[in-house]
C-alpha cells in the first residue's frame, strides 16, 4: 500500500490556487453567510490506510486537503444543500467543473454519470417510503431527495438535497471496514450507490404491500357503502407515486452499467466488481417498478370495468321498474279519458277487474324480469 500511495503522490496533479479573497487559514469558505447560520459542511475528514485521521476538531476543506497533499490518503467532505457562495471555495479548491458545480447547487437533476478531466460527477436520487395508516387519493407514498458525488483521486465530495438520505450512518459503517475504505474514493462511491439502491429495494417491497391492499379492495366481493370512484382515485395516486419512483430508478441503469463494465481511472478494479452487484439489484428494482405500473394499469381497468358493470346493473333495474310502472300508467291513462261509451265503465265489477288485471300484469312482468336477472 505504501508503494501505491507513493505512486499516487507522484502522478497527482496540482490543484488550482484559491480564488483571490479566499481564506487560507482554514476558516469558513462563505464570507457572505451570517455567522449565526449553521455551515453547509456536515462533515469533513481525512482518511489514510482505511482509517479516519482524528484531528480533535472539525477540519475545513482547505486544511483537510493540505493534509492529504502532505501525508497522502483522501478527504471526504459532506455537504447539505450548500449555497452557491458556500460551494464556490470548495469547487475552486478541488478544481471541480463549473457545469457540475451548477448542477450540484441547483439540484433537481436526473440520475447521471459525467466524466470530467480528473473527476467523476454522479447524481443519485434517494427515495424514502412515507408511512401511512391508509392509502387515500391524496396520500404521499414516496419522498425523493438527491445526492451528488464528486469523485477524484484524493477527494470525495457529497452534496445532499432533501430531508431524507442522510449519509452519517453510512460513513460510520465504512469507518468500521478499514480494508474497504483503504481502496479510496471509489469505495465510498460504491457504498453510496449500494446504499441508495438498497433503499430502492425497501421502497419497492413497501409499495408491493400497498398494491396488494388496493388489489384486494378492488376485487373483494360485497363491498357495499363504498363511494363510487374511491378506488380509482387511490389507484391513480399510487400510479403517480410509482412514476416518481421510476424517474429515480430508470435513469440510473446506464451509469451503473458504465461503472461496472467500463474501466475508469478513478475506479479501483477491485471496487468495479462490486458495482456489478449494485447494477444487478438496480435492474431487479427497475423490473419491479415496470411490473407495478402494468399491474396498476390492469387494476385500474378492472375497477373501471366494475364501475361500468355496476352502472349497467343500475340502468337495468331502473328500466325494469319503469316497465312495471308503465302497465298501471297505461291502464289508468286509458280509463282516465272522459268518454261515456267505454268497456266496463258502468259495470259494478269493472273497477276490481281492471285493478286485478293491472296487478297481475305487474306481477307477471316482475317475475319475468326477476327470472332473467334484471331485478
Task: Kindly report, residue by residue over 145-190, the tens digit of the pLDDT.
Answer: 999 999 999 999 999 998 777 888 999 999 999 999 999 999 999 9
347's grid cell: 259495470
Check pLDDT > 90 for residue 252: yes
**Dist CA 347 CA 321 (whole Å):** 31
Q: Do the beta carbons of residue 38 and residue 79 sit within 8 Å?
A: no
Of the listed ranges 48-62, 101-115, 118-132, the one predicted with least confidence: 48-62
Confidence of residue 207 (pLDDT cuts 50, 70, 90): very high
Check pLDDT > 70 for residue 278: yes
The pLDDT, as a whole number, for residue 36 is 42
Q: Do the beta carbons of residue 238 and residue 296 sit within 8 Å?
A: yes
Task: Kindly report, residue by residue over 89-101, the tens digit of the pLDDT.
Answer: 899 989 999 999 9
Question: What SS3 state is found at 208?
Answer: helix
CA 234 to chain centre: 17
Check pLDDT > 60 for residue 230: no
Q: Which residue has the higher pLDDT, 7 or 315?
A: 315
**Dist CA 63 CA 290 (whole Å):** 47
The pLDDT, as a whole number, for residue 196 is 95
Residue whose C-alpha is closest to residue 66's, from 11, 26, 96: 26
DSSP letter at 121? E
Q: Which residue carries 391513480 as its cell? A: 236
The top-scoring range by mean pLDDT among 145-154, 319-328, 336-345 is 145-154
Task: Please report the DSSP string for 310-341 in residue order.
Answer: HHHHHHHHHHHHHHHHHHHHHHHHHHTS--SS
Check pLDDT > 50 for residue 311: yes
The pLDDT, as a whole number, for residue 39 is 65
| Reduced DSSP (H G I as helix, E B as strand, rest coil) percent helix, strand, coil of the chain, to 5 | 55, 15, 30
pTM of the full predicted structure?
0.74
Which H or E run includes 213?
Answer: helix 185-219
The pLDDT, as a whole number, for residue 328 is 83
The pLDDT, as a whole number, for residue 341 is 66
Mean pLDDT, the chain, rounded, equals: 81
206's grid cell: 413497501
Confidence of residue 253 (pLDDT cuts 50, 70, 90): very high
Confidence of residue 222 (pLDDT cuts 50, 70, 90): low
Task: Kindly report, residue by residue over 74-86, the tens digit of the pLDDT.
Answer: 999 999 999 998 8
Check pLDDT > 90 for residue 199: yes
Q: Do the beta carbons of residue 175 and residue 191 sit within 8 Å?
A: no
Confidence of residue 221 (pLDDT cuts 50, 70, 90): low
Question: What SS3 state is found at 76?
Answer: strand
The pLDDT, as a whole number, for residue 150 is 96
Question: What SS3 state is found at 253?
Answer: helix
Exposure string (b/e) for 328-350, b if CB count within 10 Å is 16 or more?
eeebeeeeeeeeeeeeeeeeeee
**Dist CA 30 CA 99 (whole Å):** 20
The pLDDT, as a whole number, for residue 139 is 80
Residue whose C-alpha is closest to residue 215's, from 132, 298, 130: 298
The pLDDT, as a whole number, for residue 114 is 93
The pLDDT, as a whole number, for residue 339 is 65
Task: Kindly report, residue by residue over 50-66, the tens digit of the pLDDT.
Answer: 899 887 777 888 888 88
The top-scoring range by mean pLDDT among 1-10, 265-274, 283-292, 341-350 is 283-292
Amino acid at each position: 500500500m505504501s508503494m501505491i500511495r507513493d505512486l499516487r503522490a507522484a502522478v497527482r496533479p496540482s490543484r488550482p490556487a484559491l480564488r483571490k479573497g479566499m481564506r487560507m487559514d482554514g476558516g469558513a469558505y462563505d464570507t457572505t453567510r451570517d455567522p449565526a447560520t449553521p455551515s453547509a459542511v456536515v462533515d469533513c475528514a481525512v482518511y489514510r490506510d482505511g482509517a479516519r485521521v482524528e484531528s480533535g476538531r472539525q477540519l475545513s476543506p482547505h486544511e483537510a486537503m493540505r493534509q492529504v497533499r502532505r501525508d497522502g490518503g483522501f478527504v471526504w467532505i459532506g455537504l447539505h444543500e450548500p449555497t452557491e457562495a458556500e460551494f464556490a471555495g470548495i469547487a475552486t479548491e478541488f478544481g471541480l467543473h463549473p457545469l457540475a458545480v451548477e448542477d450540484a447547487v441547483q439540484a433537481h437533476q436526473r440520475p447521471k454519470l459525467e466524466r470530467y478531466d480528473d473527476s467523476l460527477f454522479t447524481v443519485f436520487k434517494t427515495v424514502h417510503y412515507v408511512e401511512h395508516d391508509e392509502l387515500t387519493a391524496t396520500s404521499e407514498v414516496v419522498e425523493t431527495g438527491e445526492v451528488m458525488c464528486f469523485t477524484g483521486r484524493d477527494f470525495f465530495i457529497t452534496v445532499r438535497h432533501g430531508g431524507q438520505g442522510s449519509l452519517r450512518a453510512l460513513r460510520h459503517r465504512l469507518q468500521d471496514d478499514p480494508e474497504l475504505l483503504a481502496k479510496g474514493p471509489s469505495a465510498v462511491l460504491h457504498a453510496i450507490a449500494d446504499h441508495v439502491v438498497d433503499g430502492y429495494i425497501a421502497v419497492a417491497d413497501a409499495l408491493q404491500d400497498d398494491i396488494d391492499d388496493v388489489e384486494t379492495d378492488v376485487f373483494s366481493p360485497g363491498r357495499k357503502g363504498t363511494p363510487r370512484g374511491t378506488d380509482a382515485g387511490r389507484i391513480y395516486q399510487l400510479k403517480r407515486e410509482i412514476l416518481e419512483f421510476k424517474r429515480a430508478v430508470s435513469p440510473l441503469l446506464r451509469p451503473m452499467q458504465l461503472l461496472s463494465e467500463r474501466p475508469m481511472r478513478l475506479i479501483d478494479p477491485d471496487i468495479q466488481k462490486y458495482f456489478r452487484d449494485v447494477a444487478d439489484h438496480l435492474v431487479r428494482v427497475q423490473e419491479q417498478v415496470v411490473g407495478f405500473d402494468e399491474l396498476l394499469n390492469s387494476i385500474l381497468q378492472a375497477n373501471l370495468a366494475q364501475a361500468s358493470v355496476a352502472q349497467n346493473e343500475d340502468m337495468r333495474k331502473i328500466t325494469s321498474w319503469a316497465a312495471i310502472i308503465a302497465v298501471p300508467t297505461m291502464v289508468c291513462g286509458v280509463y282516465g279519458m272522459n268518454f261515456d261509451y267505454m268497456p266496463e265503465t258502468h259495470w259494478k265489477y269493472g273497477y276490481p277487474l281492471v285493478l286485478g288485471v293491472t296487478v297481475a300484469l305487474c306481477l307477471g312482468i316482475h317475475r319475468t324480469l326477476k327470472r332473467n336477472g334484471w331485478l
